[in-house]
């Protein structure tokens, strides 16, 4: 019997694509070449859908209609002229002018389909001066993706999501803000249950919140037609990512024609949303000049947010957009939980107005752009007792007007991509179950405070702690002084460690100086 040969693990479609993309990249930044890859994936998908519909018309004996746009759009299929079809791109992939042909194809697709207005990159390929042989290799790899072979798998959506996350990882800190890690988006959706009505994201990035909202509706036997999507994004190139991301899934959305600052040019001034999902920029500085937006209606009833940090500007913007039963789930840096001055005054009024429903501090290293621990806030315009039924969701809410749920999730999560942390599906279900049990009246189920995990605080308790929303001030920590602010202590320890490193470096420099004065050259 001969030796056993181990089967080599077959690379996934996503991994093969990533390898091809990296070969193509050269000196081009990830922030640039992501548009190249994602545009080609979109073009392949759109072309496969077009060819499928074209064949349907021929089989049905409607061959005379195969070049009429209406017979494609009626089935939510984009119409592609010949020069925009994947077969044309593949045929000319090794020609020197392939970059120009791809730019022309994208322009023509957008021109022929109103739903794609402002969605596709402009002259990216010819502008980047890409290596023709490597671009041809990437086209060959994408050609092997059967984008519509399995109707249940959403292959192109999976590939697109994979690439968005990989590009965010590649861009690293200070960049990649267009992407919110999938497990956090999933958690927000499971918490606020965006089932029916208007969904809004004021800083929508690549549109991940909307995609997961629609998946939530599908998973609970709902109807996507019952959902209206509104969003805004400040960067035009990122807005294009969002529009492509939604287009490949057939999701209609009102995102505006161009990128625009949500504070300076609100695209949705009169919107009242039933659900808000957002991941605003953390601790955004200089978001408005001292004399700008001082009497903006979005701050009505509250202090004007300070100019040096936009956290509470984002919060009040979202509060102003909520309908009478609206719920918002969003991520902010932990500092917003206990900030003083104007921010404390706003926070106090929000708490007294019964808006704050839940505060959940998340693990460190969940984001690709920062390693700090962040917080998930849930705001609710109606915390009173009521019943709600949507599809397979039936909720009988308790009156929690005078309570806030705190959860400490810093020890939750599982390793991801070696140096990051994410929530597993089971984690998400367990967290959401705790929250929904707290919210509801359920036979044979009762919410209970759990040490080092969760605590339901009365507003009187929050008042006694000077309106701080730091979970560790409320949640019981066994064998620990519960008056310790653990976030503050950790920050202090980190500073102490940094000071020790700096002192050691200074000592080395002094030692080198002494040896140099004695005529010795020493290298440490």
**Both 93 and 176 in a single domain?**
no
Q: Does residue 2 lie in a domain region?
A: no
Q: What is the Cα–Cα distance from 112 to 139, expressed in whole angstroms?
A: 23
Q: Which of 259, 183, 255, 167 is nearest to 428 (CA)?
A: 183
**Both 307 and 455 in a single domain?**
yes
**Both 165 and 211 in a single domain?**
no
Using the structure block, give the residue that is written with the tokens 């996507």: 224
Q: What is the Cα–Cα distance from 505 to 281, expressed in whole angstroms?
A: 34
Q: What is the Cα–Cα distance from 327 to 204, expressed in whole angstroms?
A: 17
H/E segment holding residue 510: helix 486-517
Q: What is the Cα–Cα distance from 281 to 518, expressed in whole angstroms?
A: 53
**Both 419 and 492 in a single domain?**
no
What CA–CA distances, in Å, run from 139 to 105, 106, 196, 497? 14, 15, 40, 50
Query: Helix axis angle, 425-439 relative to 182-192, nearest 10°?
Result: 20
Give residue 159's domain range: 13-169
396 and 357 in contact (C-beta within 8 Å)? no
* Residue at which a domain ends, from 151, 169, 187: 169
* Residue at which a domain ends, from 115, 134, 169: 169
Q: Long-range CB contacts (< 8 A, 24+ apart) of 244-247?
A: 244/38, 244/39, 244/42, 244/119, 244/120, 244/160, 245/160, 245/164, 245/206, 245/207, 245/208, 245/211, 246/207, 246/210, 246/211, 247/42, 247/78, 247/115, 247/116, 247/119
The count of domains in the chain is 3
Question: Model's pTM, two decimal places?
Answer: 0.81
List 198's β-bridge partners, or say none.
228
What are the φ and ψ backbone dihedral angles of 12, each rounded to 5 degrees?
-75, 165
Q: What is the Cα–Cα distance from 62 to 92, expressed in whole angstroms?
A: 30
**388 CB neighbour count, 10 Å cutoff:** 15
* CATH classification of the domain holding 284: 3.40.50.150
Question: In a structure prediction context, what are the per-residue pLDDT tens digits for the chain, which is 524 residues long?
Answer: 343 333 444 566 677 777 777 776 665 666 677 778 888 988 998 999 999 999 999 999 999 999 999 999 888 899 999 999 999 999 999 999 999 999 999 999 999 888 888 888 887 787 877 888 888 988 998 898 877 776 555 666 667 777 777 777 776 555 446 678 889 999 999 999 998 899 999 999 888 899 889 988 888 878 888 999 999 999 888 898 889 888 888 888 999 988 999 999 999 999 999 999 999 998 999 899 999 999 999 999 999 999 999 999 999 999 999 999 999 999 999 999 999 999 999 999 999 999 999 999 999 988 877 777 799 999 999 999 888 877 677 888 899 999 999 999 999 999 887 788 999 999 999 999 999 999 997 777 889 999 999 999 999 999 999 999 999 999 998 765 445 555 566 566 666 666 676 667 767 777 667 666 666 665 55
Q: Which of 294, 286, 298 is nearest to 322 (CA)?
A: 298
**Both 299 and 419 in a single domain?**
yes
């Amino acid at each position: 019997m001969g030796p056993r040969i181990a089967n080599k693990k077959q690379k996934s479609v996503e991994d093969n694509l990533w390898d091809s993309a990296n070969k193509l990249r050269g000196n081009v930044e990830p922030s640039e070449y992501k548009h190249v890859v994602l545009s080609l994936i979109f073009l392949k998908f759109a072309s496969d859908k077009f060819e499928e519909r074209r064949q349907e018309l021929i089989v049905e004996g409607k061959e005379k209609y195969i070049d009429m746009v209406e017979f494609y759009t009626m089935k939510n299929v984009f119409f592609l002229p010949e020069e925009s079809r994947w077969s044309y791109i593949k045929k000319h992939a090794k020609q020197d002018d392939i970059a120009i042909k791809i730019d022309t194809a994208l322009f023509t697709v957008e021109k022929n389909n109103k739903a794609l207005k402002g969605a596709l990159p402009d002259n990216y390929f010819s502008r980047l001066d890409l290596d023709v042989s490597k671009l041809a290799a990437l086209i060959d790899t994408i050609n092997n993706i059967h984008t519509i072979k399995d109707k249940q798998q959403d292959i192109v959506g999976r590939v697109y999501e994979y690439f968005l996350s990989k590009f965010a990882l590649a861009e690293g800190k200070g960049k990649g803000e267009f992407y919110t890690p999938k497990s956090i988006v999933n958690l927000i959706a499971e918490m606020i249950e965006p089932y029916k009505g208007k969904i809004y994201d004021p800083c929508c990035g690549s549109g991940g919140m909307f995609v997961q909202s629609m998946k939530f509706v599908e998973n609970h036997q709902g109807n996507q037609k019952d959902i209206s999507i509104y969003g805004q994004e400040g960067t035009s190139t990122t807005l294009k990512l969002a529009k492509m991301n939604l287009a490949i899934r057939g999701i209609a959305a009102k995102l505006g024609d161009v990128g625009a600052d949500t504070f300076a040019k609100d695209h949705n001034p009169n919107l009242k949303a039933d659900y808000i999902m957002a991941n605003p920029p953390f601790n955004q500085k200089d978001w408005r000049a001292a004399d700008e937006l001082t009497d903006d209606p979005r701050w009505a009833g509250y202090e004007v947010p300070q100019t040096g940090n936009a956290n509470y500007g984002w919060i009040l913007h979202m509060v102003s957009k909520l309908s009478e039963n609206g719920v918002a789930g969003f991520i902010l840096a932990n500092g917003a939980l206990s900030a003083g001055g104007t921010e404390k005054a706003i926070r106090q009024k929000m708490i007294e107005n019964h808006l704050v429903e839940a505060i959940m501090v998340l693990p460190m290293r969940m984001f690709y752009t920062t390693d700090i621990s962040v917080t998930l806030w849930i705001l609710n315009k109606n915390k009173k007792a009521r019943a709600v039924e949507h599809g397979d969701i039936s909720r009988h809410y308790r009156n929690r007007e005078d309570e806030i749920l705190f959860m400490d999730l810093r020890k939750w999560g599982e390793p991801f991509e070696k140096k990051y942390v994410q929530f597993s599906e089971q984690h998400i279900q367990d967290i959401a179950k705790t929250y929904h049990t707290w919210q509801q009246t359920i036979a044979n189920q009762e919410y209970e405070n759990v040490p080092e995990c969760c605590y339901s605080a009365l507003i009187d308790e929050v008042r006694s702690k000077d309106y701080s929303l730091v979970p560790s001030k409320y949640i019981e920590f066994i064998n620990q002084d519960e008056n310790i602010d653990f976030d503050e202590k950790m920050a202090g320890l980190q500073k102490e460690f940094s000071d020790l490193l700096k002192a050691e470096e200074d000592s080395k420099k002094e030692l080198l100086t002494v040896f140099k004065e004695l005529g010795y050259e020493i290298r440490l």
